[in-house]
Amino acid sequence: MAATLNKVFLMGNLTRDPEVKQTPSGETVADMSLAVSEQFRSRTTNEVREVVTYVDVTVWGRVAENCGQYLTKGRPVFVEGRLVTDSWEDKTTGQKRSRLRVRADRVQFLYSPNANRRETSGATASSEWAPAPVAPIAPAPSPAPAPAAAPESQDPEDLPF
């Protein structure tokens, strides 16, 4: 039997405030949505493009309590967890439905969690925060001259990636 691995690492911004609930057994659970973006340079137009993926994240226990207390929409976070499948039957059509979500084991706040909390004296702490810096995309490298007698199998257009 082959070994398997189910591990997810994501860094992005929350698209909404965490929704914190209590299960009937008293365990805390928080549901969040994360926007993860990827930038790339188009080969044809050479312009920078961005693709955003939205990921549902579920957090349990003390981590869920901390997320509900300190996180708000727009905050940057790093999530470590695993993929799980939610399955249900659509009540209107009767069809079976499913979706993937991340079950987070760890959530790292990428800003100061006290940035928007009120001090005991009543003064408000600084509301300024900034996500971790992101390296800019380097300009597309200029193509190297092809060797004089390069075989067809080494043509860059034939590479599988």
Residues 115-152 as b or e (16 or more Cβ within 10 Å = b): bbeeeeeeeeeeeeeeeeeeeeeeeeeeeeeeeeeeee
Please state whether the predicted TM-score (pTM) of the whole model is above 0.85.
no
Task: Give the tens place of pLDDT for each residue, 105-119.
Answer: 999 999 765 655 433
Q: CA 58, CA 19: separation in Å to the nearest integer?
A: 10
Q: Where is 113: in which H helix or E strand?
A: none
Task: Give the tens place of pLDDT for each residue, 70-114.
Answer: 999 999 999 999 999 999 898 888 899 999 999 999 999 997 656
Q: What is the pLDDT of residue 150?
A: 46
What residue has token string 């398997």?
4
Mean pLDDT over all residues of the chain? 79
